[in-house]
Structure 1
Amino acid sequence: MNSNQKKLVKSTVPVLQTNGTDLTKHFYSRMFKHHPELKNLFNMSNQASGKQQHALAGAVLAYAEHIENPEVLINVLKSIGNKHVSLNISPEQYDIVGHHLISSIKEVLGEAASDDLIEAWTEAYNELAQIMISIEAELYQSNLKKEGGWKGWRTFIISEITEESSEVKSFYLKPKDQASIADYLPGQYLSVKLFIPALGHEQARQYSLSSAFNPEYYRISVKKESNGNVPEGVVSNMLHHKKTGDEIWVSAPSGVFHAGVESNQPLVLISGGIGITPLLSMLETNKKRLQENTTVWLHSCRNEKVHAFKDNVDRLNQDSEWLTTHVFYETLSQNGNDSVKEGRINLAELRDEVLIDDAKYYICGPEVFIKVQYDSLIKLGVAQEDILYEEFGPQLLHFN
């Protein structure tokens, strides 16, 4: 891109700030009309809720704002690239997206979309596409080079199902071909794909690996989401109706949210609800690899019935001098529990516990939960680079 084209792209920032979601809604509607097969790749629940359109609008805006130096977005692009690889996105699909995105800019901006502006955005998109294709090619090759690694979708059999709470089940997945499976970093996820009869197409979802690596199986733990209106919760509901012996498609482990398995830094793990899953993998890995880094875990959920893995963590807590846990329920049972606090996590009240020299802080949970905990850590003086977070679904949070 030349400097004039970059200026033209940047000139669209005010329009994207006010009308970005209108553009992305038009784009998705246009693309799905011409390429309905892409509904197999996109999360149609996030389409129905508007989250995906909002997330894409934010991404397009961020790219326009940083068009002179897109490298500042590299961590976000790597996160998106990991998700694309887990969905087996191909370079050819970038051509389809680019065609409909540029066409949507023309149609939404109307007379304001001059030939020069369209040419500038075409160049901008092509450069971004090449960055993403390069990132993803590297990740695909990395997966293939791993022992037990693979590209695309592989058939796994559900070998065991366990109930972890009133709304969470764990699924133990073994490869149908009985070949080896790839190792992963604690905190990473799998993509799982199912055909959804009610929708008439496939849907894929990402689920955190919830245990330390075991060469015999993968374990994911899935919360059954509300299913009042299709497609909300459609995949989690279908998974909860699966039985041992059933087959599902699985992609190789992926994701940028993970703890370093060789690091000896203290860990502060902060989870809300089903956000417990990637942090449990970190905790089990810490124990399994005998690092036993000083670890403080704070977990918050609605009540005892929905508290997944309570007994697992209690056992670790009893046997491990390196681990301290704090559990919060919004509502305590009538019997009470001396080890559980009523209410929500307040990091300011626990500053002596959580402020540890050289610690890394990992947060996972709902969007609002992450924002509250992140802001609290910043106010307590924790450096931004020491705070990592995982937001399930489209990435809507961006802390600069």
Structure 2
Amino acid sequence: MISAASRPYIDASVPVLREHGLAITSLFYKNMLGEHPELTRLFNMGNQARGAQQQSLASAVFAYAANIGTPEALGPVVKRIVHKHVSVGIRAEHYPIVGRHLLASISATLGEAATPPLLDAWAEAYNSLAKLLIAAEAEMYSTAGIEPGATRPMRVTEVKRESDNVLSIRFVADDSQPLPTFQAGQYVSIAVDLPGGRHQLRQYSLSDAFGKESMRISVKREDAIDTTPAGEVSNWIHANVEAGSVLRVTHPFGEFTPDTESAETIVLLSAGVGITPMVSALNRIALVNPQRRVIFAHAARDARHHPLQADVAAAQAVMPNLQVVTFYEEANGEADVLAGRMEVARLPEWERDVAEVWVCGPLKFMQAQWLALLDAGVPPTRLHREVFGPELLDHLL
């Protein structure tokens, strides 16, 4: 990926990035978005306000440096980035802007330690990665048959309350074209215009199976908590979207795609709104192979915060080998519910080295389940995870 001459400088950067990565990326976003405010439409400004995006980029840069000699470790991360980029319409011309500000932020943060050879090495490494991403994104745009940033009008046919803070929104194409194909676990971006002329995109997992005459997303309302601001787009959707509304929706993307067509046992573990891609997978399996063994476990605060229960119940009615396990942190004597947080030891047994395990939910949930599954003997090659929001890539660090 980079020359032998540059490799020592990248290797030497690893401890420096561990210490100063967040300062570098915070300065990077501040300067880049200050000079190019038009790019704010491509970023989740709520994550920016919380500092989550800065921390995610810092961990990504560190992971890139730490694993630059092991492309097999970086491959899945690069694939995930490509899907995220095409979902918001990243173009080739954005990369020089990012590179210039990233190198300037490294230089400003490290001061005299940012020697010309070090900056040259990072310029080479960045350009190498940029070429890889640009090529992969161009191919994905071409395969999907779309231009970067393209959206389609979709007409809302139903809005259904799933829980205290989750709405399901079902829509159909509002043009003459058929609905796009997609795989369970993929997401679409919803484009909204907010007060003040601001334009934002947010990704939401498709929460029903492919093969129906409509598509569905399930949107959690993100409320303000302490210093964390409320989610602008999720609150706008909850307040404004109704049957008959027209949404601008991108083509489906995403690499977190459970194999719904196999006959092997599959394990689907989720928490919170992470249940949405899992229900998409479950509903697809119910359509194509209802005899398949599926372990479906979900963790929620309580029954009022447990969305898509009707979908799971409908799957249970037609899937004799579906095993459902529900965990509530605040259990109130509900039947068939385990009190407390999800624990691997309380799940049904399965062949650890055969079944694929898919996990989706908040970051702390993901970290806990990842370690617990490894301790339980699940090979890392059988583990797959999807974090809603910026990821810290802690499994690579």
TM-score, normalisation: structure 2 = 0.94
* Structure 1 counterpart of 2:273, one-letter code: I
CA distance in 2, matches of 1:82, 1:249: 18
User: Using a 3 Å threshold, how does the CA distance of structure 1 residues 150 and 26 change in structure 2: closer, same or farther?
Assistant: closer
User: Percent identity among equivalent residues?
Assistant: 39
1:343 maps to what in 2? 340
Deviations 1:309-348 (A, max 9, x none): 2122123213321211111211233xx3222222222211
Secondary structure of 2:5's aligned partner: helix
Change (3 A) 1:204 1:231: farther
RMSD: 2.0
Contact 2:173-2:179 at 8 Å conserved across structures: yes
Letter in 2 for 1:187: G
Q: Which moved more, 1:286-295 or 1:375-384?
A: 286-295
Asked if residue 245 in structure 1 is aligned to residue 241 in structure 2, the reply is: no
Contact 2:190 2:250 in 1 (8 A): yes
SS at match of 1:12: helix
CA pair 164-178 structure 1, distance change in 2 beyond 3 A: farther
Which consecutive residues of structure 1, in runs of 5 or more, have no partner in the other structure?
Answer: none
Q: 1:158-307 to 2 correspondence within 5 Å? A: 158-197=156-195, 200-227=197-224, 232-241=230-239, 242-290=241-289, 292-307=291-306
Query: Deviation at 1:354?
Result: 4.1
**Residue 394, structure 1, aligned to residue 390, structure 2:** yes
Instruction: Kindly provide the CA deviation profile for residues 15-41 of structure 1, in whole angstroms up to 9, marking residues without a partner as x.
Output: 111011000001001101110111011
Name the CA shift for 1:116/1:187 in 2 (closer, same or farther; >3 Å). same
Cα deviation, 1:241-297, whole Å, max 9, x if unaligned, reads 122222222111111111123322111111111111000011000011135321011
Aligned residue for 2:168, secondary structure, equals: strand
C-alpha separation between the residues in 2 aligned to 1:239 and 1:252?
A: 19
Equivalent residue runs for 1:1-400 within 5 Å: 1-144=2-145, 152-197=150-195, 200-227=197-224, 232-241=230-239, 242-290=241-289, 292-333=291-332, 336-350=333-347, 352-355=348-351, 358-400=354-396
8 Å contact from structure 1 (residues 140, 151) kept in 2: no
Paired with 1:156 and 1:315, the residues of 2 have a C-alpha distance of 26
Q: Is contact 1:264-1:291 (8 Å) kept?
A: no
2:167 aligns to what SS in structure 1? Answer: strand
Letter in 2 for 1:391: V
Structure 2 unaligned blocks of 5 or more:
none
Change (3 A) 1:180 1:340: same
- How far does the alpha carbon of each residue in 1:180-212 deviate from its partner, in whole angstroms, 9 at most, with x for none? 1211111111111111216x4211111111000
User: Match of 1:321, SS?
Assistant: coil
Report the CA distance shift for 1:182/1:150 in structure 2 as closer, same or farther (over 3 A): farther
In structure 1, what residue type is equivalent to 2:179? I
Contact 1:63–1:70 (CA under 8 A) maintained in structure 2: no
Distance 1:61 1:115 in 2: 20
From the superposition, tell whether residues 231 and 174 of structure 1 become closer, same or farther in structure 2 (CA, over 3 Å): farther
Conservation of the 8 A alpha-carbon contact between 1:144 and 1:151: no
How far 1:307 sits from its partner (Å)? 1.3
- Indicate if the aligned counterparts of 2:91 and 2:148 stay in contact, CA closer than 8 A: no
Question: In the alignment, is the contact (CA less than 8 A) between 2:352 and 2:378 conserved in 1?
Answer: no
Say if 1:292 and 1:92 are closer, same or farther in 2 by CA, change over 3 A.
farther
Letter in 1 for 2:44: N
The answer to whether the Cα contact below 8 Å between 2:21 and 2:62 also exists between their aligned partners in 1 is yes
Cα drift, residue 68 of structure 1: 3.5
2:356 partner letter: K
Mapped partners of 1:268, 1:79: distance in 2: 21
SS at match of 1:164: strand
Q: Is the 8 A contact 1:5 1:120 kept in 2?
A: yes
Aligned length: 393
Alpha-carbon distance in structure 2 between the residues aligned to 1:343 and 1:138: 45
SS of the aligned residue for 1:393 comes to: coil
TM-score by length of 1: 0.93
